Amino acid sequence: MATSTVLFTIILLFHGLSDSTLQVQSLSFGINYGQIANNLPSPSRVAVLLQSLNVSRVKLYDADPNVLQAFSNSDVDFIIGLGNEYLQSMSTDPLTAQSWIQQNVQPYLPQTKITCINVGNEVLGGNDTQLWSYLLPAMQSVYRALVDLGLSKQVAVTTAHSLTILGNSYPPSAGSFRQDLTQYIQPILSFHSQVNSPFLINAYPYFAYKASPSEVSLEYVLFQPNPGMDDSVTNLHYDNMLDAQIDAVYSAIKAMGYSDVEVRISETGWPSKGDANEAGATPENAGIYNGNLMRKIEENKGTPAMPKVPVDIYVFALFNEDLKPGPASERNYGLYYPDGTPVYDIGFQGNLPGVQGNPPGIRGLPQLTFSADSNVNAMSIFNFLILLIVYLLLSAY
């Protein structure tokens, strides 16, 4: 009887610790892997890092063959990018789209899981109005080429937008697109509805805070405790800005007659450094934003207006990119420095081959660090110790 009681206690302990470890390992998220830098680690080393972080989805801004080869036979889903510079030729010549897919997609399937092509980036949020008219025809050309090549059921077609396409975002239920863009967005939404592809948004609460730090609550944009805001039309409560931004986009889409188009966040993040006039760009705030964002991803919940639709989120970005133009913040969105050391602590640590050491703690965040590799090793040791204890107990009795 004593032996049974001891063994039962050990089993309960083992089950509890196993559950806690698996809960940590179960967090998976998407990340943007930009490469506008001259000091980044090789794609093969990055593949190890992302595997240790349990990253399940990666978004590229091109179709870098070195990256796609490095992730061959992995479980990572890829969104690859087709740059804005291709839009004109793709829109006028379908054979150009087919040739691009034959060169940049077909050779890597199925070993590398390319699941989506992002045609252009923030085109409608830019000032090149000529590109606006090229966008949808280019998307259609890429889709037709995928159909002709028998790939349309495994590779989706979409494009990513900035939030500047919204004419109104407050309250979220009154979200609407800019009047000058509706003639372009309406047929794009029709395309998404017909081919069942997602509507991608690059959403940065940081931009709102940077523009009006005296009016926008820092706690509201960092997912910290705050009074939040109530939508006076729907009476829905919002305790963070990202949810409000997402629902504003959903409202804008529904206002144009579409209720079957899913919104996904193709970029969101917070810079750890900025110029003197870039309020809030600190490693502390970046760590809090991304750490709380990870917790939000782990909860796998929707927004107040779409509670049953979990939001697919891609964090921006994997590395700091030293060659990006613009203000200092643009070069400092990375979770990691190019040498593989974390810029700040968001509650876990990956494993880039050849790098050792932990980041300093960040105020307001737990000091738990882990990697998938270290969990496997810890679990192996733990299992061995449990078996050893059981053996010794059985021997004693």
Please list the active-site residues: 122, 267
| Dist CA 269 CA 203 (whole Å) | 8
Tokens of 310: 């979990």
231: its two tokens? 């939508």
Q: Specify the long-range contacts of residues 225-229, CB closer than 8 Å, at least 24 apart.
A: 229/171
Which residue type is seen at 263? V
* Cα four-point dihedral sign 82, 159, 69, 370: positive
Reference 13, options 378, 395, 397, 382; nearest CA is 382
> Regarding beta strands 313-315 and 30-32, do their DSSP bridges make them parallel or antiparallel, or are they unpaired?
parallel
Could you tell me which of 334, 339, 337, 359 has the C-alpha nearest to residue 349? Answer: 359
Residue 256 CB coordination number (10 Å) = 15
Coil, helix or strand at residue 205 = helix
Distance CA 68, CA 299 (A): 30
Mapped onto helix, strand or coil, the DSSP state of residue 31 is strand
Contacts of 171 (CB under 8 A, 6+ apart): 229, 231, 232, 233, 234, 244
Peptide bond into 203 cis (omega under 30): no
Q: Give the integer Cα–Cα distance in Å for 175 and 351.
A: 41
Pairwise CA distance, residues 50 & 75, whole Å:
11
**Geometric angle at alpha carbon 298, from 296 and 304, rounded to 5°:** 40
Instruction: Answer for the pair 65, 100: CB distance below 8 angstroms, yes or no.
Output: no
What's the token pair of residue 270?
């917070």
Q: How many residues are present in the chain? A: 397
Q: Which two tokens stand for residue 327?
A: 């203000």
**Residues β-bridged to residue 79:** 59, 116
